[in-house]
Amino acid sequence: MKRRALITGITGQDGYYLTKLLLKKSYEVHGLVRRSSTPLDPIFKSPKLKIHRGDITELDRISRLIDKVRPHEIYNLAAQSHVKDSFNLPEYTLNVTALSTLRILEAMREKHPKARFYQASSSEMFGTVTEFPQTESTPFHPSSPYACAKAYAHLLCANYRKAYGLHVNCGILFNHESPRRGESFVTRKIAMGAARIKLGLQKKLILGNLSVRRDWGYAPEYVEAMWKMLQQKKPSDFVIATGETHSVQEFVEEAFGHVGLEWRKHVGKDKRFLRPSDNPELRGDPSRARRTLKWKARTKFSKLVKLLVDAELDALQ
Protein backbone atom coordinates (compact mmCIF):
# COMPACT_ATOMS: atom_id res chain seq x y z
CA MET A 1 0.00 0.00 0.00
CA LYS A 2 1.38 3.38 -1.01
CA ARG A 3 1.86 5.62 2.01
CA ARG A 4 0.71 9.23 2.03
CA ALA A 5 2.38 12.06 3.92
CA LEU A 6 1.24 15.62 4.53
CA ILE A 7 3.96 18.21 5.18
CA THR A 8 3.41 21.76 6.41
CA GLY A 9 6.36 24.08 5.79
CA ILE A 10 7.27 21.99 2.76
CA THR A 11 9.14 24.84 1.01
CA GLY A 12 11.55 25.35 3.92
CA GLN A 13 14.92 23.69 4.40
CA ASP A 14 13.63 20.65 6.29
CA GLY A 15 10.52 20.37 4.13
CA TYR A 16 12.68 20.14 1.02
CA TYR A 17 14.95 17.39 2.36
CA LEU A 18 12.07 15.47 3.93
CA THR A 19 10.18 15.59 0.62
CA LYS A 20 13.23 14.19 -1.19
CA LEU A 21 13.51 11.39 1.36
CA LEU A 22 9.84 10.43 1.21
CA LEU A 23 9.68 10.51 -2.59
CA LYS A 24 12.71 8.22 -2.65
CA LYS A 25 10.74 5.85 -0.40
CA SER A 26 7.84 5.96 -2.92
CA TYR A 27 5.48 8.00 -0.74
CA GLU A 28 2.70 10.11 -2.16
CA VAL A 29 3.58 13.51 -0.68
CA HIS A 30 1.16 16.37 -0.06
CA GLY A 31 2.41 19.80 0.89
CA LEU A 32 0.58 22.79 2.34
CA VAL A 33 1.85 26.02 0.76
CA ARG A 34 0.84 29.62 1.41
CA ARG A 35 -1.26 31.11 -1.36
CA SER A 36 1.40 33.76 -1.99
CA SER A 37 4.23 31.20 -2.26
CA THR A 38 5.50 29.83 -5.57
CA PRO A 39 7.68 26.71 -5.18
CA LEU A 40 10.26 26.86 -7.98
CA ASP A 41 12.54 23.91 -7.27
CA PRO A 42 12.21 21.02 -9.76
CA ILE A 43 11.36 18.65 -6.89
CA PHE A 44 7.97 20.37 -6.58
CA LYS A 45 7.10 19.28 -10.12
CA SER A 46 7.21 15.57 -9.25
CA PRO A 47 3.97 13.73 -10.16
CA LYS A 48 4.13 12.04 -6.73
CA LEU A 49 3.94 15.44 -5.01
CA LYS A 50 0.68 17.36 -4.68
CA ILE A 51 0.70 21.00 -3.56
CA HIS A 52 -2.29 22.42 -1.66
CA ARG A 53 -2.82 26.16 -1.21
CA GLY A 54 -3.83 27.49 2.17
CA ASP A 55 -2.67 29.02 5.41
CA ILE A 56 -1.53 27.27 8.54
CA THR A 57 -3.62 29.70 10.58
CA GLU A 58 -6.91 28.50 9.02
CA LEU A 59 -8.42 25.66 11.04
CA ASP A 60 -11.20 24.93 8.52
CA ARG A 61 -8.69 24.66 5.67
CA ILE A 62 -6.42 22.33 7.64
CA SER A 63 -9.35 20.20 8.75
CA ARG A 64 -10.69 19.82 5.19
CA LEU A 65 -7.23 19.01 3.87
CA ILE A 66 -6.59 16.25 6.42
CA ASP A 67 -10.05 14.82 5.76
CA LYS A 68 -9.42 14.86 2.01
CA VAL A 69 -5.86 13.51 1.95
CA ARG A 70 -6.21 11.00 4.82
CA PRO A 71 -2.44 10.95 5.31
CA HIS A 72 -0.71 8.10 7.10
CA GLU A 73 1.87 10.59 8.38
CA ILE A 74 1.69 14.32 9.14
CA TYR A 75 4.88 16.37 9.51
CA ASN A 76 4.38 19.81 11.03
CA LEU A 77 7.43 21.83 9.97
CA ALA A 78 5.71 25.20 9.46
CA ALA A 79 6.87 28.00 11.77
CA GLN A 80 8.23 31.50 12.03
CA SER A 81 11.62 29.99 12.75
CA HIS A 82 14.00 32.93 13.17
CA VAL A 83 14.74 33.60 16.85
CA LYS A 84 15.76 37.24 16.45
CA ASP A 85 12.70 38.03 14.30
CA SER A 86 10.44 36.57 16.98
CA PHE A 87 11.29 39.50 19.26
CA ASN A 88 10.00 41.89 16.58
CA LEU A 89 7.02 39.68 15.62
CA PRO A 90 5.93 37.98 18.86
CA GLU A 91 2.20 37.77 18.11
CA TYR A 92 2.76 36.43 14.59
CA THR A 93 5.34 33.94 15.90
CA LEU A 94 2.94 32.58 18.54
CA ASN A 95 0.08 32.34 16.03
CA VAL A 96 2.06 30.49 13.37
CA THR A 97 4.39 28.42 15.54
CA ALA A 98 2.22 27.58 18.59
CA LEU A 99 -1.47 27.92 17.76
CA SER A 100 -1.15 26.27 14.36
CA THR A 101 0.12 23.13 16.07
CA LEU A 102 -3.10 23.16 18.09
CA ARG A 103 -5.14 23.56 14.89
CA ILE A 104 -3.48 20.56 13.22
CA LEU A 105 -3.84 18.35 16.31
CA GLU A 106 -7.52 19.26 16.61
CA ALA A 107 -8.13 18.57 12.92
CA MET A 108 -6.30 15.26 13.20
CA ARG A 109 -8.23 14.27 16.34
CA GLU A 110 -11.60 15.01 14.74
CA LYS A 111 -11.01 13.89 11.15
CA HIS A 112 -8.21 11.32 11.09
CA PRO A 113 -7.00 10.11 14.53
CA LYS A 114 -5.21 7.10 13.02
CA ALA A 115 -2.55 9.31 11.43
CA ARG A 116 0.93 9.56 12.91
CA PHE A 117 2.08 13.08 13.74
CA TYR A 118 5.55 14.65 13.88
CA GLN A 119 6.11 17.99 15.60
CA ALA A 120 9.26 19.99 14.91
CA SER A 121 10.31 20.97 18.41
CA SER A 122 13.49 22.95 19.02
CA SER A 123 16.54 23.01 21.27
CA GLU A 124 15.76 26.70 21.83
CA MET A 125 13.06 25.55 24.28
CA PHE A 126 15.79 24.70 26.81
CA GLY A 127 16.95 28.32 27.02
CA THR A 128 19.61 29.13 29.60
CA VAL A 129 20.46 25.73 31.04
CA THR A 130 22.70 24.40 33.80
CA GLU A 131 22.34 20.74 32.78
CA PHE A 132 24.70 19.44 30.09
CA PRO A 133 24.02 17.82 27.77
CA GLN A 134 20.28 18.39 27.34
CA THR A 135 18.04 15.31 27.21
CA GLU A 136 14.34 14.71 26.58
CA SER A 137 13.67 15.35 30.31
CA THR A 138 15.72 18.54 30.74
CA PRO A 139 13.43 21.38 31.99
CA PHE A 140 12.56 24.21 29.60
CA HIS A 141 13.54 27.83 30.28
CA PRO A 142 12.68 29.49 26.94
CA SER A 143 14.28 32.87 26.40
CA SER A 144 12.60 34.17 23.23
CA PRO A 145 9.04 34.37 21.83
CA TYR A 146 10.07 31.69 19.32
CA ALA A 147 11.26 29.37 22.10
CA CYS A 148 8.08 30.01 24.12
CA ALA A 149 5.95 29.17 21.08
CA LYS A 150 7.85 25.95 20.47
CA ALA A 151 7.59 24.97 24.16
CA TYR A 152 3.81 25.53 24.06
CA ALA A 153 3.46 23.35 20.96
CA HIS A 154 5.71 20.66 22.46
CA LEU A 155 3.74 20.43 25.71
CA LEU A 156 0.48 20.46 23.77
CA CYS A 157 1.67 17.42 21.81
CA ALA A 158 2.38 15.56 25.05
CA ASN A 159 -1.13 16.45 26.21
CA TYR A 160 -2.83 15.18 23.04
CA ARG A 161 -0.75 12.01 23.11
CA LYS A 162 -1.83 11.27 26.69
CA ALA A 163 -5.41 12.56 26.62
CA TYR A 164 -6.50 11.18 23.23
CA GLY A 165 -4.06 8.35 22.56
CA LEU A 166 -2.81 9.92 19.34
CA HIS A 167 0.48 8.82 17.77
CA VAL A 168 2.18 12.19 18.39
CA ASN A 169 5.98 12.50 18.29
CA CYS A 170 8.27 15.47 18.92
CA GLY A 171 11.76 15.79 17.52
CA ILE A 172 13.77 18.18 19.71
CA LEU A 173 16.15 19.14 16.94
CA PHE A 174 19.31 21.05 17.67
CA ASN A 175 20.75 23.37 15.01
CA HIS A 176 20.94 21.69 11.63
CA GLU A 177 22.28 23.38 8.52
CA SER A 178 22.47 22.99 4.75
CA PRO A 179 22.95 25.12 1.61
CA ARG A 180 19.16 25.66 1.72
CA ARG A 181 19.31 27.52 5.03
CA GLY A 182 17.75 31.01 4.93
CA GLU A 183 20.17 33.87 4.37
CA SER A 184 19.27 35.50 7.70
CA PHE A 185 20.64 32.54 9.70
CA VAL A 186 24.17 33.06 11.01
CA THR A 187 25.63 29.88 9.47
CA ARG A 188 24.45 30.79 5.97
CA LYS A 189 25.55 34.39 6.54
CA ILE A 190 29.07 33.22 7.46
CA ALA A 191 29.34 30.77 4.55
CA MET A 192 28.12 33.40 2.07
CA GLY A 193 30.41 36.04 3.56
CA ALA A 194 33.52 33.86 3.35
CA ALA A 195 32.75 32.92 -0.28
CA ARG A 196 31.92 36.47 -1.37
CA ILE A 197 34.99 37.98 0.31
CA LYS A 198 37.21 35.31 -1.25
CA LEU A 199 35.86 36.22 -4.71
CA GLY A 200 36.20 39.96 -4.10
CA LEU A 201 32.42 40.57 -4.05
CA GLN A 202 32.30 41.77 -0.44
CA LYS A 203 34.77 43.47 1.89
CA LYS A 204 33.53 42.83 5.43
CA LEU A 205 31.26 40.42 7.29
CA ILE A 206 29.47 41.94 10.27
CA LEU A 207 28.18 39.61 12.99
CA GLY A 208 26.81 39.76 16.53
CA ASN A 209 27.79 37.45 19.41
CA LEU A 210 30.71 35.20 18.44
CA SER A 211 30.95 33.37 21.75
CA VAL A 212 27.63 31.47 21.78
CA ARG A 213 28.06 27.73 21.35
CA ARG A 214 25.71 25.48 19.39
CA ASP A 215 25.32 21.83 18.48
CA TRP A 216 25.41 21.92 14.65
CA GLY A 217 24.44 19.04 12.36
CA TYR A 218 23.52 18.42 8.72
CA ALA A 219 19.84 18.85 7.81
CA PRO A 220 19.45 15.90 5.34
CA GLU A 221 20.48 13.53 8.14
CA TYR A 222 18.05 15.10 10.62
CA VAL A 223 14.99 14.53 8.42
CA GLU A 224 15.87 10.81 8.45
CA ALA A 225 15.31 10.91 12.21
CA MET A 226 11.89 12.53 11.69
CA TRP A 227 10.82 9.68 9.43
CA LYS A 228 12.22 7.02 11.78
CA MET A 229 10.15 8.45 14.67
CA LEU A 230 6.90 7.82 12.80
CA GLN A 231 7.87 4.22 12.07
CA GLN A 232 7.95 3.34 15.78
CA LYS A 233 5.11 1.42 17.40
CA LYS A 234 4.92 3.77 20.39
CA PRO A 235 5.06 7.57 20.04
CA SER A 236 7.73 9.45 21.97
CA ASP A 237 10.05 12.46 22.00
CA PHE A 238 13.66 12.40 20.84
CA VAL A 239 16.62 14.77 21.06
CA ILE A 240 18.27 14.91 17.63
CA ALA A 241 21.79 16.30 17.88
CA THR A 242 25.50 15.58 17.37
CA GLY A 243 26.39 15.77 21.07
CA GLU A 244 29.16 18.33 20.61
CA THR A 245 29.26 22.13 20.52
CA HIS A 246 31.25 24.79 18.70
CA SER A 247 31.18 28.57 18.97
CA VAL A 248 30.17 30.98 16.24
CA GLN A 249 33.80 32.09 16.20
CA GLU A 250 34.91 28.52 15.50
CA PHE A 251 32.43 28.44 12.62
CA VAL A 252 33.96 31.65 11.27
CA GLU A 253 37.50 30.30 11.66
CA GLU A 254 36.64 27.11 9.78
CA ALA A 255 34.83 28.95 6.98
CA PHE A 256 37.52 31.56 6.33
CA GLY A 257 40.34 29.06 6.83
CA HIS A 258 38.76 26.86 4.16
CA VAL A 259 39.12 29.67 1.58
CA GLY A 260 42.60 30.66 2.80
CA LEU A 261 41.68 33.90 4.56
CA GLU A 262 42.55 35.25 8.01
CA TRP A 263 39.12 35.86 9.50
CA ARG A 264 40.15 38.71 11.84
CA LYS A 265 40.96 40.88 8.83
CA HIS A 266 37.46 40.52 7.40
CA VAL A 267 34.98 40.05 10.27
CA GLY A 268 33.55 42.80 12.47
CA LYS A 269 30.92 42.95 15.23
CA ASP A 270 27.88 45.18 15.62
CA LYS A 271 25.44 45.41 18.55
CA ARG A 272 22.54 45.59 16.09
CA PHE A 273 22.93 41.86 15.48
CA LEU A 274 22.69 40.90 19.15
CA ARG A 275 19.49 39.34 20.46
CA PRO A 276 17.74 40.87 23.50
CA SER A 277 18.56 37.59 25.27
CA ASP A 278 20.58 34.61 24.11
CA ASN A 279 21.47 31.10 25.27
CA PRO A 280 25.24 30.82 25.87
CA GLU A 281 25.41 27.12 25.00
CA LEU A 282 23.16 24.28 23.86
CA ARG A 283 24.37 20.69 23.51
CA GLY A 284 22.08 17.73 22.93
CA ASP A 285 22.30 14.14 24.13
CA PRO A 286 21.09 11.93 21.24
CA SER A 287 21.41 8.67 23.23
CA ARG A 288 17.72 7.78 23.05
CA ALA A 289 17.64 8.34 19.28
CA ARG A 290 20.75 6.21 18.91
CA ARG A 291 19.24 3.36 20.96
CA THR A 292 15.64 3.40 19.73
CA LEU A 293 15.81 4.86 16.23
CA LYS A 294 19.28 3.54 15.36
CA TRP A 295 20.07 7.08 14.25
CA LYS A 296 23.19 9.17 14.66
CA ALA A 297 24.66 12.29 13.06
CA ARG A 298 27.34 11.40 10.51
CA THR A 299 28.65 14.73 9.21
CA LYS A 300 31.31 16.25 11.47
CA PHE A 301 31.54 19.98 12.18
CA SER A 302 34.55 20.75 9.99
CA LYS A 303 33.10 18.86 7.03
CA LEU A 304 29.75 20.61 7.49
CA VAL A 305 31.29 24.10 7.38
CA LYS A 306 33.36 23.28 4.29
CA LEU A 307 30.30 21.80 2.59
CA LEU A 308 28.34 25.02 3.17
CA VAL A 309 31.15 27.29 1.96
CA ASP A 310 31.75 25.17 -1.15
CA ALA A 311 28.05 25.36 -2.00
CA GLU A 312 28.23 29.18 -1.85
CA LEU A 313 31.38 29.25 -4.00
CA ASP A 314 29.73 26.99 -6.59
CA ALA A 315 26.63 29.17 -6.70
CA LEU A 316 28.66 32.37 -7.12
CA GLN A 317 31.00 30.98 -9.74
Residue 53: partners with Cβ closer than 8 Å, 6 or more residues away: 33, 34, 35
pLDDT of residue 80: 87
How far is residue 296 from each of residues 18, 236, 288, 300, measured CA to CA in Å? 17, 17, 10, 11
* Residue of 16, 17, 75, 146 with catalytic role: 146
Query: Is 146 marked active-site?
Result: yes
Q: What is the largest CA-CA distance in the chain?
A: 59
| pLDDT tens-digit map of 88-103 | 999 999 999 999 999 9
What type of residue sits at position 144? Answer: S
164 is catalytic: no
Q: How does pLDDT run across 49-101, given as a tens digit for each residue?
A: 999 998 899 999 999 999 999 999 999 999 988 888 899 999 999 999 999 99
- Render pLDDT for 153-183 as a digit per residue (tens, 0 to 9): 999 999 999 999 999 999 999 999 999 998 9
Q: Is 122 a catalytic residue?
A: yes
Q: Which of 28, 73, 124, 254 is catalytic?
A: 124
Nearest residue to 29 via CA among 9, 11, 3 = 3
The per-residue pLDDT for range 19-47, each reduced to its tens digit, is 999 999 999 999 999 876 666 677 877 88
Q: Please tell me the predicted confidence (pLDDT) of residue 279.
A: 75
The pLDDT, as a whole number, for residue 82 is 80
pLDDT tens-digit series, residues 196-246: 999 999 999 999 999 999 999 999 999 999 999 999 999 999 999 999 999
Over residues 249-287, the pLDDT tens digits come to 999 999 999 999 999 999 998 777 666 667 789 999 999
Question: Which domains, from first to last, does the chain contain?
Answer: 4-176+217-240 (3.40.50.720), 183-214+245-281+301-316 (3.90.25.10)
Active-site annotation holder among 63, 121, 122, 143:
122
